[in-house]
Structure 1
């Protein structure tokens, strides 16, 4: 299934994308797409519905983040060997973890506003894992049983904040709208091989990233299992799994960073495409 959330920020309602690309209203069946409604039993009930029996949502609507009320937004850094190389950073021997503030989460087509003083605004297309059932000390062999589905995330990053002001990644990655998620939460019955997905990102129609999740250093199952050893993963938590090469920071001979007015388009095979315009600082 492809689940999404439609409506103004803070007023989103749940929807399903049917096989013909039409939006179907799920409001009569679940109040929202959140950790409370994406557990195995709830998803099984939704799968049993006939999409044709659901009301069609007509017209143009804002698409919100594909999962609401996210408790934790956990990121895996340097999880592609060639991205680590372009960043001039050593390849981690264990998954490198950091957090983004959940207040950075926004819809897949919402604008990204430049933070005040930002000089090195960068892009990172990533596969995101959405947890469907509580995971604590899970084995790698069992890890995918705890996943509800997957989506696209753009790990927007301000490298000046991240690297030049004390080396704290979280403050370079947590500004408002630095985590566009969606458009769809695609359930695991449709994405059976999460480590076999093509992914790409363009800036003003110039391809900057072109990779595949098969080149991850640590697989999706490994990442979920590993994180669950250090914290309990709850339904609705989101994990960003790292980015392939091609970020602005790594472009040779000189880095290339986002300018006001530029447009990022990012997509992953089977998970849809998102798009954001960069706006100047509002401060």
Structure 2
């Protein structure tokens, strides 16, 4: 099942896909066109864990070796925005890029979970586009706040897709298009640390809670985005997440 969240006339609604393109269905069966509402992230999130260098080809394009253990940092809820949102490119940025990522949503409390049991603790999956401004990077292994926690720098959605509806999340194609041109293609099978390994690792440190999200990293194929670009990240079985780059309205 696919489900999302929107703001319509100042009220938050849960929605499902409608039969017509660019429409959603409310719980009462009413259908709305995208022009009538604002997309929100598809869930109210808990802790957001993000992985650095979790695809070997991406590590290589940044002139790094694949890590020996997961490189994890935290993100704020304020960094998230919904489908069709606008992300600001800072005025002083020289290199800002997208990162198409499979987002894993935890469904039940998880502590000291073995990788063989990991999928039992997953509720759903969605798409994330975790923009990075490389100008602000202080350390590739520990991204600082300005790189990964700016307001609206991580579109998420549009849909939550139930875990049971995705056969093998480690065999999904990821793509990114800028203004209709394919710029990134990869597959989740090429993660350095698989989803079960990440859940085992994280739950060995702290309790994972329902609504926590794990952003699992991005493959190679990064490019600089400019004001006016439409960036569409897509993951097999999950849909497409569209976002536009705008000029900065504040520092």
SS in 2 for 1:202: strand
CA change 1:121–1:9 in 2 (3 A) is farther
Whole-Å Cα distance in 2 between the matches of residues 15 and 147 of structure 1? 21
1:266 to partner: Cα distance:
0.7
Query: Is 2:121 aligned against 1:146?
Result: yes
Higher strand share: 2
> For structure 1, which runs of at least 5 residues remain unmatched after alignment?
27-53, 249-256
Contact in 2 for aligned 1:128/1:153 (Cα 8 Å) = yes
With over 3 angstroms needed to count, the CA separation of the structure-2 counterparts of 1:116 and 1:17, relative to structure 1, is: same
Residue 39 of structure 2 is matched in structure 1 by 63
User: How much does 1:2 deviate?
Assistant: 0.2
Q: Shift of the alpha carbon at 1:25?
A: 2.3
Return closer, same or farther for 1:167/1:215 CA change in 2, 3 Å cut-off: closer
Change beyond 3 A, Cα 1:145–1:166: closer
Contact 1:115 1:175 in 2 (8 A): no
1:265 to 232, 239, 242: 232
Task: Tell me, in whole angstroms, the C-alpha distance in 2 between the residues paired with 1:119 and 1:129.
Answer: 31
Equivalent runs, 1:223-234 vs 2, <5 Å: 223-234=198-209
Distance in 2 between residues matched to 1:229 and 1:166, nearest whole Å: 20
Q: 1:223 to 1:19 in 2, by over 3 A?
A: farther
> CA offsets per residue over residues 38-85 of structure 1, 9 Å max, x none?
xxxxxxxxxxxxxxxx423333332211112x1211101111111110
Identify the residue that residue 60 of structure 2 maps to in structure 1: 85
The count of residues paired between Structure 1 and Structure 2 equals 247
The answer to whether the 8 Å contact 1:24/1:55 transfers is yes
Q: Secondary structure at the match of 1:226?
A: helix
Q: Aligned partners of 2:116 and 2:9: how far apart in 1? A: 38
The correspondence for 2:165, drawn from 166, 190, 202, is 190
Q: CA deviation at 1:109?
A: 1.2
> How far apart, in 2, do the equivalents of 1:196 and 1:145 lie?
18
Find the aligned partners of 1:91 and 1:63 in 2 and give their Cα distance: 36
Q: How far apart are residue 164 of structure 1 and its match?
A: 7.5
Where 1:58 maps in the other structure, the secondary structure is strand
1:3 lines up with 2:3 in the alignment: yes
Matching of residue 94 in structure 1 with residue 95 in structure 2: no
CA contact (8 A) 1:157 1:173 kept: yes
Deviation at residue 13 of structure 1 after TM alignment: 1.2
Distance (Å, rounded) in 1 between the aligned partners of 2:183 and 2:174: 11
Deviations 1:191-241, CA, capped at 9 Å, x for gaps = 120001011001122211111111111111111121111121111111100
**CA distance, structure 2, for counterparts of residue 216 and residue 164 of structure 1:** 21
Q: Say if 2:73 and 2:142, in contact at 8 Å, map to a contact too.
A: no
Shift of 1:9: 10
Sort the Cα spacing of 1:113 and 1:234 in 2 relative to 1 into closer, same or farther, 3 A.
Answer: same
Alignment equivalent of 1:207, drawn from 166, 170, 182: 182
> Are 2:222 and 1:247 aligned?
yes
Aligned-residue RMSD, C-alpha: 2.1
- 1:166/1:143 CA distance change after superposition, 3 Å: closer
| C-alpha separation in 1, matches of 2:234 and 2:79 | 19
Q: Which residue of 2 aligns with 1:45?
A: none
Distance 1:204-1:229 versus aligned 2 partners, 3 A rule: same
